[in-house]
Amino acid sequence: MEDPYPVKPFRSPASAKVVVPGSKSMTNRAMILAALADGISRIENCLFSEDTEIMVNALQTLGFAIQTYPKEKRIEVTGKGGTIPNSKARLNVGNSGTSARFLTALCCLGKEGEYELDGVPQMRKRPIDSLANALSKLGADIETANGFFPLKIRPKRLFGGKVTIDATGSSQLVSALLMVAPFCQQTLNIELSDTSIRRGYIEMTCEMMKAFGIPPKNILSSNSGYTIHSSSAYSSQANGYVVEGDASAASYFLALPLAVGGKIEIEGLKKDSLQGDTAFTEKVEKIGASIEWKASSAVCHYDLSRAQPLAFNDNFYQISDTFLTAAAISPLLEGETKIEGIEHTRHQECDRIEAMANGLSRLGQNVRQTQGSLTVEPKALNEATVATYEDHRVAMSFAILGCRDIKGNGEPWLKVEDPLCARKTFPDFFETLEKARRDSEKEATLASK
């Protein structure tokens, strides 16, 4: 693939159907839960990407038997009922936040030995002290590098009891504790130091734990936190657990009709999804798009001949992975866009606020930022190459902006550096986008005859 990658604009309104890959968040959670169960679990509609490969490799290094079938989008995991086969291992978590946090908690279930976890330089900037401190209080022996990776874990039996955790940086810290909680010696009470944290992905974790056999009565939630009783075990899913289509990935194609007009049907996006990022549909409806829900898909419509979409002026704290999508198309909206509630995204795959501000500034926009917000005043767009900082969401978000034909001749004007970074969660994103462009032009040609 050409790097930097020139995004080909749409010369006609969108008219296509796309299929989003399986959810990264659900795929990685399902693998952890399957490893904790006793027996073989079959996981269907899995995402095969850089992040999920990191999880597969790590679990295999820990001694779990895992079979992968990429063409069938299936993974089979042989769980060991809460034990870890290998007592010593060195795990590479790359820049995968889910892998880093979930594996940290998982390794604390070992009865002896030592586990070392490390990742890329950016991962060493992502704090892990809140989770490490909570697990230490529960009985684990964890050594960090001043609250960051690399980690050294000497596992001991987790006691349970009460623990307080600050999960304002990532709700994955709570999910990591929840998934290992059934193996504590006694009931685990997780108290949130800040109850305003993003709950969507935590609730997803709870529902998936129930799907893997934990009785609903053993998982209690309240405004102050969560209680997990330890008297039950996970059950393997030999008949299959189906991963939903990725709602975060769907956000790019929900934004596409706002950029070029027309309609896109997104296969795999469900209204009753476990994923909080499905709420991005409400954000685009709020600024003028219409959403039609079908049994296993959503169709997003926008008629650009009527008017420009309204600007986003909203808090994205609960669905912060989608703020980049909203920010990227802000130059095409009516009025000033202001996105708030995103301070924690400065400590993800990159400083995402700075990354979006830099890219939009290169494109000629007037951008202002605070520690937790981004404001964009639309100006005339100019040609530019956008840096992605090895962040998949930066790359995919700006690609949607590049689909607007600002030159009026179909010539690319926006280039995306390091397009292959999209492999982290959506390996064939650019191919999917290009197919949608070609399909839309075919539809327009047929309609004109």
Q: What mean pLDDT is predicted for residues 19-27?
A: 96
Per-residue pLDDT for 232 more than 80?
no
Helix, strand, or coil (residue 7): coil
In the chain the domains, ranked by start, together with CATH numbers, are 5-21+245-448 (3.65.10.10), 24-226 (3.65.10.10)
* Residue 167 structure tokens: 């999960």
pLDDT digits (tens, 9 = 90+) for 269-318: 999 999 999 999 999 999 999 999 999 999 999 999 989 999 999 999 99
Q: Give the residue numbers annotated as catalytic, written as ranges.
A: 321
Q: With cut-offs at 50, 70 and 90, classify the pLDDT of residue 19.
A: very high
Q: With cut-offs at 50, 70 and 90, classify the pLDDT of residue 197.
A: confident
By C-alpha distance, which of 70, 83, 61 is closest to 27? 70
What's the pLDDT at 277?
A: 96
* CA distance readout (Å), 32 to 35, 79, 84: 5, 9, 12
* CA distance readout (Å), 61 to 15, 91, 144, 200, 300: 45, 7, 21, 30, 43
Instruction: Quote the percentage of the chain above a pLDDT of 90.
Output: 92
Instruction: Please report which residue ranges of 48-192 form alpha helices under DSSP H.
Output: 50-61, 97-107, 129-137, 172-180
By C-alpha distance, which of 142, 141, 98 is closest to 119? 98
DSSP 72: G
- Across the beta sheet with 414-416, the strand order is 5-6, 414-416, 384-386
Angle between helices 172-180 and 200-211 (to 10 degrees): 20
Residue 190 or residue 194, greater confidence: 190
What's the pLDDT at 429?
A: 98
Per-residue pLDDT for 320 more than 80?
yes
What's the pLDDT at 448?
A: 81
Strands (E) located in 95-218:
114-119, 141-145, 148-154, 161-165, 188-192
What's the pLDDT at 150?
A: 97
pLDDT digits (tens, 9 = 90+) for 248-271: 999 999 999 999 999 999 999 999
pLDDT digits (tens, 9 = 90+) for 124-157: 998 999 999 999 999 999 999 999 999 999 998 8
Helix, strand, or coil (residue 322): helix
Q: What is the per-residue DSSP string for 370-430?
A: ETTEEEEE------EEE--TT-HHHHHHHHHHTTS-SSSSS---EEES-GGGGGGT-TTHH
* CA distance readout (Å), 338 to 18, 368, 370, 402: 29, 9, 11, 21
> Look-up: residue for tokens 């490799």?
57
As a whole number of angstroms, the distance between CA 177 and CA 190 comes to: 8
Q: With cut-offs at 50, 70 and 90, classify the pLDDT of residue 205.
A: very high
- Let me know: does 119 contact 92? Beta carbons within 8 Å: yes
What's the pLDDT at 128?
A: 94
Q: What mean pLDDT is predicted for residues 422-431?
A: 96
What's the pLDDT at 17?
A: 98
Per-residue pLDDT for 58 more than 90?
yes
Q: With cut-offs at 50, 70 and 90, classify the pLDDT of residue 195.
A: confident
Polymer length in residues for the chain: 449
What's the pLDDT at 110?
A: 82
**Position 261, amino acid:** G
How many helices (H) and strands (E) the chain has is answered by: 12, 23
Per-residue pLDDT for 118 more than 90?
yes
Per-residue pLDDT for 32 more than 80?
yes
Q: What mean pLDDT is predicted for residues 31-36?
A: 98
As a whole number of angstroms, the distance between CA 102 and CA 142 comes to: 14
Per-residue pLDDT for 336 more than 90?
yes
Please, what is the average pLDDT of the chain?
96
Q: With cut-offs at 50, 70 and 90, classify the pLDDT of residue 449.
A: confident
What's the pLDDT at 198?
A: 83
**Position 312, amino acid:** F
